[in-house]
Amino acid sequence: MDQICQIRSLALRRGLLLLTALLFTALRPAGVDRIMLQMESQNLQRGKRVDVHAGLFYESGNGRLITRYTKPVEQVMVTNNRGELAIYNEKDNTVYRDQSMEYSSENNLVYYFLSGRVQDLGLRQMGFELMETEFIGDLVKTSWFPPPAMYHLFNRIELVHEDYLPIYTAYYDASRNLVKRVYYSDYQHFPELVLPMTITEFNYLPGGDSIVNRLRFSDVRINQRANSPWFNFVIPDDATILR
């Protein structure tokens, strides 16, 4: 159970580091039926480093995302656009199940780029309102004001774009303190989309400490090039349900 909790925590942290826990309606990304890629995440805190390696397999038609973790433990996470979560441990033939929209397969940065939400990274649909637009040389900075339900979380969120692509996000809490920065870099152009291959996040903790998480994508394959049996993965019927 400790390993299940560890992977669940890593999965949640991955979703949060890609942006923040936003909810989205179902949308079929134009031109992309399926995508597969490799992901490496490095988490640094207080001199300790945690590496996570996984393969991601997403189909836009059914909103199903398979995440096959190979490090630090071998497990498979299955989510969909309805927020249904299952984490399968093949070694023990056990499965952990839960449901919440924070687990939704549409709640990650890859989906934002697939669905063309690069202008606001989904903030507008979340209820954020554009407060200010500032032009700084070749950069465009926009400031977004949160909906009333999020006043206790955010004072504002700032986005910076260059050549119409997001390169930086800053999060300010209700006390107007900078609590998180996210950088999007190493953009790669594919026939169907443009994707940042490196995402670096700095989370600032009380007392001056911080957590650094760096996410790297590689081996991106789209549509006909995305062939893998993992797209058809099914959790065995005889798996023991932990929850």
User: What is each CA distance from 116 to 64, 146, 165, in whole angstroms?
Assistant: 19, 21, 11
Q: What percent of the chain has pLDDT over 70?
A: 80
CATH number at residue 9: 2.50.20
Q: How many domains does the chain have?
A: 1
Quote the CA–CA distance of 192 and 26 in Å, as a whole number: 19
Q: What are residue 139's DSSP bridge partners?
A: 136, 162
Greater model confidence, 230 or 79: 230
Confidence of residue 107 (pLDDT cuts 50, 70, 90): low
pTM: 0.78
- What would the pLDDT profile of 55-66 be if each residue is shown by its tens digit? 999 988 888 889
Instruction: Name the residue range of residue 32's domain.
Output: 2-241
Residue 42 has pLDDT above 60, yes or no: yes
Q: Which residues contact 137 (CB under 8 A, 6 or more apart)?
A: none
| pLDDT confidence of residue 232 | 93
